[in-house]
């Protein structure tokens, strides 16, 4: 019998225990163990019923994702789980932590389910580009009904025990000791001679919908926005349709076909890669796991502008008291008003209660008194993006902050080392580049200064997690990782306009690729004047032989700064945020092409993708080579969580791997010949392409 799953008995109740840290994933050995132990329970004459319980921090959290895409050995999921469901003695699943995916599917094959109040259950396979493939799409609708099953499985969001009980997923919530409670529950079932309740046989929730296709058509339409580009959510709806309209075993066969197709597809490969990439990002080779992490019990944010306010909200959301500091009362009041408005919006959408809103607002203390910074364990500076000002602020922080406090700058462009040098303790200085809007976007680039200490890095990374963010460590370079890559794309986008494209065409191609918007709508949203100011500052140092498009400058010179002025690359009518193509801009672009002596030509969608995305991959290769990112997958995490790169394409580096680095390299070489040295392939790209390798194999040291 497997050591990971054991069978024992407590009185007349058989106990199957899974102990496979960290998350009791259903690996081949666990499936084999479950099968063996279910047989042991059946054959144990002294056992009248059984419980299935897990050691460690959680119930079974799903299939073992590392086994996906490999040849399956041992018993299949169905072979292991069907035995449980087919037992002639009642089995109770005893859930703590999270019963997710195959874990919940295992529990659904038990005859009854109980859970501690803090437990959660869900079918998150969709987040891996998959569908529940161990009967989840067929059993859950039988238990909770079609509308709820559709929501739960297409979003993948878990639900807490109390809600699960209301919906019928869980039969009993157990306060106190789970094992004892589950055994008592199993005894009660035996005493009361309760039937073997097999979910597969339940019909009352699905029968009334038989033949009703409309409900599924409507649902497909309703998820069009959130599921745009993804295959799995649609395959899930098809499976739930099958659960309603096919006999159980036929539905299971349909589900198995569905998961096999998704599993073999590129989308699921990309999404599984992202699952591990997110977790990898937290690992820093020279900052070991046991590096001391400072406790952040109180924080301070300097600057009550949009960024500062958003960052303060993150602390409040995580239950950490935070001072919000500014130099002028008016700015401070405006910042607090915006925070309150943001929370009120969330409350009006039903995602926050009034009590929770009040609690979070109470955690934010607005103040003009800089002395309070001396109380903070972690200070984030979010003042205007200007080096002189930042240095002044950090010199002041150095005087006021406690010696053990960490001082972070939220700069998106400035040199963290130079800022750190304004203090007497550069080891305590680090960059935390939150993405805008800071209370919504999950990415934080944690910028490691040359002198940032390991403790400072470990604390900033741990804090990102506490704030519900994904922290990715990057080095000090122009634009750090995300914006440095973005710059490549935006520069090429402007050149495409000069050569024959229009903003609406470029944006549409990138939208169809899966991004939330293209570079021109994005510029209009962010405000075109910001980068204009930066470009003006850099004008003197720009190499004379470098191609430079003045189009963006010309748009700004017309007073068109984007959405905030009602016009930028597009026009925005009546306060709307919908970009509308503007003939004035078309004219401006055409005149510019003429002035440059460029004969405008038709630019294909394929060329737009190649011209915009291959230089991003190339820049990623340079970043890797310089060590500004630790691994290609970190760059992908940055692009997925900071810029909305479609998860199902796994980030620009994964995308490069998937289309073949040799193809990227060959195209870059060709572009270099046509358009100049900005397309020169990075040496790392060249090396990997010529060796037929990928960024992933490079990251793994292969």
Cβ count within 10 A of residue 369: 9
Strand pairing class (378-381; 299-302) = parallel
Near ligand 3H9 in 254-273, by CB under 6 A: 259
One residue of 15, 34, 52, 61 binding ligand 3H9 per CB under 6 A: 61
What is the separation of C-alpha 657 from the centre of its chain, rounded to a whole number of angstroms?
Answer: 20
* Candidate residues 128, 307, 485, 521; the one interacting with ligand 3H9 per rule CB under 6 A: 128
Which of 20, 111, 433, 698 is flagged as catalytic?
433
Computed over its alpha carbons, how large is the radius of gyration of the chain? 28
Whole-number Cα distances in Å, 295 to 277, 320, 625 = 26, 11, 34
The Cα–Cα gap between 148 and 646 comes to 26
Nearer to ligand 3H9, 135 or 615 (CB): 135
Decide if residue 471 touches ligand 3H9 (CB under 6 A). Answer: no
The owner of tokens 């301070």 is 300
Distance CA(200)–CA(202), nearest Å, equals 6
Q: What is the spatial distance between Cα 632 and Cα 619, in angstroms, rounded to a whole number? A: 11
For residues 22 and 247, which CB has a smaller minimum distance to ligand 3H9 in the complex?
Answer: 22
Contact between 159 and ligand 3H9 per CB under 6 A: no
Query: Does 619 sit near ligand 3H9 (CB under 6 A)?
Result: no
The mark string for 8-47 relative to ligand 3H9 (x by CB under 6 A, - otherwise) is --------------xx-x----------------------
243 binds ligand 3H9 (CB under 6 A): no
Candidate list 166, 210, 279, 601; residue touching ligand 3H9; CB under 6 A: 279
Options 2, 17, 32, 58; binder of ligand 3H9; rule CB under 6 A: 58
SS3 of 374, please? helix
User: Least separation, in Å, of the C-beta of 21 and ligand 3H9?
Assistant: 8
How many residues belong to the chain? 702
* Residue (of 607, 608, 626) closest to 684 by Cα position: 626
Instruction: For residue 444, state whether it binds ligand 3H9 (rule: CB under 6 A).
Output: no
Least Cα distance to 109 among 90, 127, 128 occurs for 90
Nearer to ligand 3H9, 50 or 136 (CB): 136
Q: Which of 36, 125, 398, 498 binds ligand 3H9 (CB under 6 A)?
A: 125
b (16+ CB within 10 A) / e for 163-182: ebbebbbbbbbbeeebeebb
Q: Minimal distance in Å, beta carbon 67 to ligand 3H9? A: 8
Distances (CA, A) of 34 to 30, 338, 454: 6, 54, 43
Interface with ligand 3H9, residue 549, by CB under 6 A:
no
The answer to whether residue 78 is catalytic is: no
Alpha-helical (H) ranges within 20-145 are: 28-43, 77-86, 102-108, 136-144
- Judge whether 324 and 669 are in contact, CB under 8 Å: no
Residues 65-124 that bind ligand 3H9 (CB under 6 A): 65-66, 77, 98, 100-102, 105, 124
Residue 259 CB, nearest approach to ligand 3H9 (Å)? 6
Regarding 585 and contact with ligand 3H9 (CB under 6 A), the answer is no
# of chain residues touching ligand 3H9 (CB under 6 A) = 26
251 lies in the site for ligand 3H9, by CB under 6 A? no
Q: Which is nearer to ligand 3H9, 105 or 504 (CB)?
A: 105
DSSP assignment letter at 450: T
Catalytic residues: 433
> What does the binding site for ligand 3H9 look like in residue numbers (CB under 6 A)?
22-23, 25, 58, 61-66, 77, 98, 100-102, 105, 124-125, 128, 132-134, 136, 259, 276, 279
């Amino acid at each position: 019998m497997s050591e990971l799953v054991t069978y024992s008995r407590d009185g007349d109740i058989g106990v199957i225990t899974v102990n496979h840290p960290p998350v009791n994933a259903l690996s081949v050995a666990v499936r084999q163990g479950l099968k063996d132990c279910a047989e042991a329970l059946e054959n144990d004459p002294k056992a009248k019923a059984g419980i299935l319980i897990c050691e460690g921090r959680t119930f079974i959290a799903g299939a073992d994702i590392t086994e996906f895409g490999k040849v399956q050995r041992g018993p299949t999921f169905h072979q292991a789980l069907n035995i449980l469901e087919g037992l002639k003695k009642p089995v109770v699943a005893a859930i703590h932590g999270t019963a997710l995916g195959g874990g919940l599917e295992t529990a659904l094959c038990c005859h009854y389910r109980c859970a501690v109040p803090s437990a959660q259950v869900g079918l998150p396979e969709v987040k891996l580009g998959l569908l529940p493939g161990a009967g989840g799409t067929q059993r859950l609708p039988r238990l909770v009904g079609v509308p709820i099953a559709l929501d739960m499985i297409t979003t993948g969001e878990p639900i807490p025990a109390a809600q699960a009980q209301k919906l019928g997923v869980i039969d009993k919530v157990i306060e106190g000791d789970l094992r004892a409670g589950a055994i008592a529950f199993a005894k009660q079932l035996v005493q009361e001679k309760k039937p073997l309740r097999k979910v597969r046989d339940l019909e009352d929730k699905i029968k009334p919908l038989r033949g009703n296709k409309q409900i599924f058509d409507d649902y497909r339409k309703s998820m069009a926005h959130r599921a745009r580009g993804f295959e799995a959510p649609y395959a899930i709806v098809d499976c739930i349709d099958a659960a309603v309209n096919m006999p159980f075993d036929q539905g299971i066969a349909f589900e198995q076909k569905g998961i096999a197709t998704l599993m073999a597809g590129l989308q699921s490969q990309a999404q599984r890669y992202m699952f591990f990439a997110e977790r990898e990002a937290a690992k820093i080779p020279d900052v070991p796991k046991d590096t001391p992490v400072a406790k952040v019990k109180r924080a301070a944010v300097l600057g009550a502008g949009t960024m500062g306010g958003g960052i303060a909200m993150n602390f409040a959301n995580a239950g950490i008291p935070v001072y919000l500091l500014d130099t002028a009362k008016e700015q401070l009041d405006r910042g607090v008003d915006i925070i309150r408005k943001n929370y009120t919006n969330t409350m009006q959408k039903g995602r926050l209660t009034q009590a929770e809103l009040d609690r979070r607002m109470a955690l934010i203390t607005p103040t003009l008194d800089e002395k309070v910074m001396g109380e903070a364990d972690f200070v984030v500076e979010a003042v205007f993006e200007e080096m002189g000002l930042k240095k002044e602020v950090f010199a002041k922080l150095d005087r006021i902050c406690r010696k053990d406090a960490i001082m972070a700058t939220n700069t998106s462009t400035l040199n963290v080392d130079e800022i750190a040098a304004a203090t007497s303790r550069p080891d305590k200085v680090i960059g935390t580049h939150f993405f805008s809007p800071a209370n919504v976007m999950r990415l934080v680039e944690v910028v490691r200064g040359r002198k940032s200490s390991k403790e400072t890095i470990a604390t900033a990374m741990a804090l990102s997690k506490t704030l519900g963010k994904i922290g990715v460590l990057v080095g000090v370079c122009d634009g750090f990782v995300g914006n440095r890559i973005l710059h490549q794309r935006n520069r090429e986008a402007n050149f495409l306009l000069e050569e024959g494209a229009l903003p609406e065409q470029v944006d549409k191609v990138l939208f169809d690729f899966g991004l939330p918007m293209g570079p021109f709508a994005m510029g209009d949203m962010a405000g075109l004047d910001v980068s204009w100011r930066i470009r003006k500052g850099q004008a003197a140092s720009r190499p004379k032989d470098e191609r430079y498009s003045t189009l963006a400058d010309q748009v700004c010179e017309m007073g068109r700064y984007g959405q905030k002025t009602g016009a930028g690359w597009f026009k925005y009518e009546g306060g709307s945020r919908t970009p509308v193509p503007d003939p004035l801009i078309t004219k401006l672009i055409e005149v510019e092409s003429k002035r440059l002596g460029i004969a405008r030509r038709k630019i294909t969608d394929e060329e737009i993708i190649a011209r915009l995305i291959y230089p991003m991959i190339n820049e990623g290769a340079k970043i890797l080579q310089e060590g500004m990112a630790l691994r290609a997958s970190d760059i992908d995490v940055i692009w997925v969580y900071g810029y909305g790169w479609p998860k199902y394409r796994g980030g620009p580096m994964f995308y490069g791997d998937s289309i073949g680095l040799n193809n990227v390299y060959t195209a870059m070489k060709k572009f270099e010949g046509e358009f100049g040295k900005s397309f020169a392939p990075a040496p790392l790209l060249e090396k990997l392409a010529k060796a037929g390798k990928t960024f992933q194999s490079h990251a793994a040291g292969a």
